[in-house]
Chains A and B, each alone.
Chain A
Amino acid sequence: MILLAHGAGGRMTGRLVREIFLRHFSNEALARLEDAACLSAGAARIAFTTDSFVVTPIVFPGGDLGKLSICGTVNDLAVMGARPIALSAGFVIEEGLPMATLDRIAASMQAVCAEIGVPVVTGDTKVVERGSCDQVFINTAGVGLLEEPLPQGAAAVRPGDRVIVSGGIADHGIAVMAARNDLRFETTIESDCAPVLSATRALLESGAAVRWMRDPTRGGIATTLCELTSGAPFAIEIAEERIPLRPAVLALAEILGLDTLYVPSEGRFLAVVDAADVDRALAALRADPAGRESVEIGEVIADPPGRLLLRTRIGGHRILDMLTGDQLPRIC
């Protein structure tokens, strides 16, 4: 039986993907389980990805379902090093949705598309009976070109490499939670929902040796880095005091009992770069609006292999494991 936790992006999602989808769809491109599949199309190498968006409420501080649905797919292509060229958008709409709501969502989708210069070139519309979905769900897919410079891939990660995050974490998850009516919080926290494309391009084109990039959406930076270390011959240690976190985000997370390391961002990415290039990488990132707050948060180490460690502010250590359970349903 499917539980909400199967959609949380953590351990149970992983098992679901392996035991159902990988089993049935088994093929080489899918089996890599990257944010986007890398394919050959004639002489070109392309990246292809898809994502569905069910966030509630559909309008939240800093964004809405429409903006999120474009950023999510574009960012999945961006962290693969791809240049997005075209997007699709599929809408599942509940009968009774005000036309103005749909109009607003489409407008904010187009605003992001215009900003990054990538069009929605195909789409689909389905309307279902009241109660069969909640207002509107959106699926987007995207195709991008894979041209050098590209990340070297997870297999190139080695001890000594540095881990960078492109800005304050957890804003999106906490902003959406705060916007839920039942909690009645008044805050100024805004979602970080934004395309990271310009920053990933800036990093790759800086000449720094970029091993790996990923956007920490569901499951937060802990789960995302765990996906890199899991089964790998190295470990990663991140330093708690270096992880950028807005005080208001931390305060609300503490009230809600949420660990910010597991709360999603929608406009950030993590990168692993060669230690010798870390200054160059940070300079390039900070010169881009989407990477202004970039900082180094940790290092790839040899032991214990396969593990993600947090060095706490007071000098202790703890293991960071993948998210278990559904700490935040319908956040994206």
Chain B
Amino acid sequence: MSVSSSDSPSAAFADPARCAALRREIEKTASGGPPITLMEVCGTHTTALFRFGLREMLPPEVRVISGPGCPVCVTPTAYIDLALRLLDEPRLALVTFGDMMRVPGSRSSLERRRARGGRVEVVYSALDALALAAAEPQTRFVFLAVGFETTAPGSALLLRAIAERRIANLYLLVAHKLVPPALEALLGRPDLRVDGLILPGHVSVILGTEVYRPIAERHGVPGVVCGFEPVDLLSGILELVRMRRDGTAAIVNRYGRAVTPQGNRLARASLSEWFLEEDAEWRGLGPIPGSGLRLRPEFSSYDGLGLLPPSEIRKVEEAVRDHEGCRCGDVLCGTVAPPECPLFGEVCTPENPIGACMVSTEGTCAAYFKYARGWSGGVR
């Protein structure tokens, strides 16, 4: 019986010799040049960089900062407040991905509310909500539809099932976010200097690579779509350092085993079938034009918000309170490192998160807290 971790199917993408060679190549290419700041915009990349200890392997010229890559983190306070308000309604249960449990609302969280008796069901797939709704026709279930282009097609599938099977007790509270408009908004900020983008792997499976080209050209910033293994990330970083040296701003795909130029057309079509793009609020970043999805008006009967009278929704929104002193906005832009925030590690911890970036295990602050707190070796 074999129990060695090197038998993992992903072992080839973590091969120490390949990694060492890539590391030397990055060092050689960056050496003597100007400092380079790269930004990853995917929570799984944030975590992977820490998990593999990649940051300490990069030469001093290359710095990697973390952008707004965690969809749970950027879900605004008002959304959580509305979800909690829904739990005041009789015979109503929320259905959510586990990451949402500790996201702070103004005064509570789903985790705390569940402990006090609110019914919150944690699922791994949007479609799990179907079985819950079928088993209890007398209960209204509201699925918290959050996430980027990766989870939004799941919500579209759920909507299709609700419509086709005429399910009367299942709704969605939609706060899906779109990555390209956020990239556009970030690169447009005068206070942020980024020399290259480590583009998300999973999101790009849906979006493809072509969607990033106009953004790269407009801002003169190259991008590489990366997978999540050490070899993926190191070869992506090498590519970005090379492009920076050569003065090119192309989009390169280093995750060809999963990502195609055009992406998943079917999934994208399902999004436009059910949703409209709208301006959306990002926790920490504020409003970004065209960066969110809402249900098309003809499907408003599936909208969880419809279970509350408009006056109640207004009341909740007016009572939203964000914590003062939180520097999440700056962390999400990469202009401040987590330990520079006055709340980090003291007031704001993974058990009691205040800011967006501490909330999910894939948040930038949570990753710093977990992997590098009080130890300079893992962070630069």
**A and B: interacting chains:** yes
Q: A interface vs B, CB < 8 Å?
A: 1-5, 11-12, 167-168, 182-183, 240-241, 243-247, 250-251, 256-257, 293, 304, 307, 310-319, 321, 324-325
Q: Are A318 and B9 in contact (CB under 8 A)?
A: no
Q: Are A304 and B9 in contact (CB under 8 A)?
A: no
Q: Are B53 and A324 in contact (CB under 8 A)?
A: no
A246 to B1, CA, bound (A): 9
Q: Are A325 and B102 in contact (CB under 8 A)?
A: yes
Q: Are B373 and A241 in contact (CB under 8 A)?
A: no
DSSP class of B's interface residues: helix, strand, loop or mixed? helix
Complex interface: chain B residues within 8 A of A314 (CB): 14-16, 19-20, 52-54, 57, 230
Q: Taking A316-B57, A318-B53 as contacts, is the C-beta distance between A247 and B7 under 8 angstroms?
A: yes
Give the number of residue pairs across the A-B interface with Cβ within 8 Å. Answer: 112
- Can you list 16 A-B pairs, Cβ within 8 angstroms, ordered by A? A1-B115, A4-B111, A12-B351, A246-B2, A251-B9, A307-B375, A314-B14, A314-B15, A314-B16, A314-B19, A315-B53, A316-B52, A318-B51, A319-B370, A321-B373, A325-B350
Give the size category of B's interface with A.
35 or more
* Binary contact readout B125-154 vs A (1 if CB under 8 angstroms, 0 otherwise): 000100000000000000000000000000
A2 to B51, CA, bound (A): 30
Q: Are B14 and A313 in contact (CB under 8 A)?
A: yes
Interface residues of B in 1-29 (CB under 8 A from A): 2-9, 14-16, 19-20
Apart from A167-B3, A307-B375: 18 A-B pairs, beta carbons within 8 A: A1-B112, A2-B115, A5-B111, A182-B124, A244-B5, A245-B3, A246-B3, A250-B8, A311-B53, A312-B53, A313-B14, A314-B20, A315-B57, A316-B52, A316-B54, A316-B378, A318-B372, A325-B102
A240 to B51, CA, bound (A): 11
Q: Are B14 and A321 in contact (CB under 8 A)?
A: no
Q: Are B14 and A319 in contact (CB under 8 A)?
A: no
Q: Are A324 and B351 in contact (CB under 8 A)?
A: yes
- Closest B residue to A310 by CB, please name it: B53
Q: B interface vs A, CB < 8 Å?
A: 2-9, 14-16, 19-20, 50-57, 102, 111-112, 115-116, 123-124, 128, 230, 349-351, 361, 369-375, 377-378
Q: Are A247 and B2 in contact (CB under 8 A)?
A: yes
CB-based closest 4 A-B pairs: A316-B53, A168-B3, A314-B19, A324-B350
Complex interface: chain A residues within 8 A of B116 (CB): 1
Most buried by B among A11, A315, A319: A319
Most buried by A among B116, B128, B349, B350: B350
What's the minimum C-beta distance from A255 to chain B, rounded to whole angstroms?
9
Complex interface: chain B residues within 8 A of A241 (CB): 5-6
A11 to B369, CA, bound (A): 13
Complex interface: chain A residues within 8 A of B369 (CB): 321
A311 to B378, CA, bound (A): 11
Q: Are B20 and A315 in contact (CB under 8 A)?
A: yes
A298 to B374, CA, bound (A): 22
Q: Are B16 and A319 in contact (CB under 8 A)?
A: no
Q: Are A319 and B350 in contact (CB under 8 A)?
A: no
Q: Are A313 and B16 in contact (CB under 8 A)?
A: yes
Which residue of the partner chain, among B3, B51, B52, B111, contacts A244 with CB atoms under 8 Å?
B3
Complex interface: chain B residues within 8 A of A307 (CB): 374-375
A183 to B351, CA, bound (A): 26
Complex interface: chain A residues within 8 A of B374 (CB): 304, 307, 319
A250 to B10, CA, bound (A): 10
A12 to B57, CA, bound (A): 33
Complex interface: chain B residues within 8 A of A246 (CB): 2-3
A297 to B51, CA, bound (A): 18
Complex interface: chain B residues within 8 A of A324 (CB): 349-351, 370
What's the minimum C-beta distance from B255 to chain A, rounded to whole angstroms?
16
